């Protein structure tokens, strides 16, 4: 009896650790690229995010060990003035896709913690409203190579 209780407890602990940690079945990320400017200038992350699940997703941020700060931004143009604004969250309905692309929504990567070159792979973790996370590998590309 003690062995059954121990096995059941272990199984519950494993399920608790795994549940809610990664979205793999509900989120699809494609074309993940990090457009990197020279020196310590910021980089921009572009990708396509698809909600393959049955419930809405809300992206609330991202982080990468390769940068001290990562923010979601949107670029706009109004009366010939280009502006960039911080975005707190992005909702993606079931079955829908959302594009992070030049001159629109993007991740802004600031203050590198390591040297990066074109062709490198950078691990980025996308954070969702319900504490879910999705790790994604971004390929470093030259500016304008998106």
pLDDT tens digits along 89-126: 999 999 999 999 999 999 999 999 999 999 999 999 99
Q: Tokens standing for 122?
A: 């950078």
Cα angle, residue 16 at apex, residues 10 and 18 outer, rounded to 5°: 105
Model confidence band, residue 139 (pLDDT cutoffs 50, 70, 90): very high
User: Distance between CA atoms of 30 and 27, rounded to whole angstroms?
Assistant: 10
- Model pTM score: 0.80
Where b means 16+ CB within 10 Å and e means fewer, 61-87 reads bbbbebbeebbbbebeeeeeeeeeeeb
Confidence of residue 77 (pLDDT cuts 50, 70, 90): confident
What pLDDT sits at residue 16? Answer: 38
Summarised one tens digit per residue, pLDDT across range 36-70 is 988 889 999 999 999 999 999 999 999 999 999 99
Write down the pLDDT at residue 24.
Answer: 53
The confidence band for 7, taking pLDDT boundaries of 50, 70 and 90, is very low
- Residue 53 near residue 26 (C-beta atoms within 8 A): yes
């Amino acid at each position: 009896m003690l062995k059954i209780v121990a096995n059941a407890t272990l199984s519950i602990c494993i399920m608790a650790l795994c549940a809610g940690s990664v979205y793999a079945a509900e989120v699809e990320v494609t074309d993940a690229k990090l457009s990197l400017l020279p020196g310590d200038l910021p980089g921009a992350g572009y990708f396509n995010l698809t909600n393959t699940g049955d419930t809405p997703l809300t992206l609330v941020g991202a982080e990468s060990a390769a940068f001290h700060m990562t923010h979601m931004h949107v670029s706009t143009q109004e009366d010939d003035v280009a502006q960039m604004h911080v975005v707190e969250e992005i909702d993606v309905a079931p079955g829908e896709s959302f594009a992070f692309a030049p001159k629109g929504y993007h991740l802004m990567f600031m203050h590198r913690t390591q040297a990066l070159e074109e062709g490198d792979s950078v691990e980025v973790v996308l954070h969702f409203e319900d504490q879910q996370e999705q790790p994604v590998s971004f390929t470093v590309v030259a500016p304008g190579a998106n």
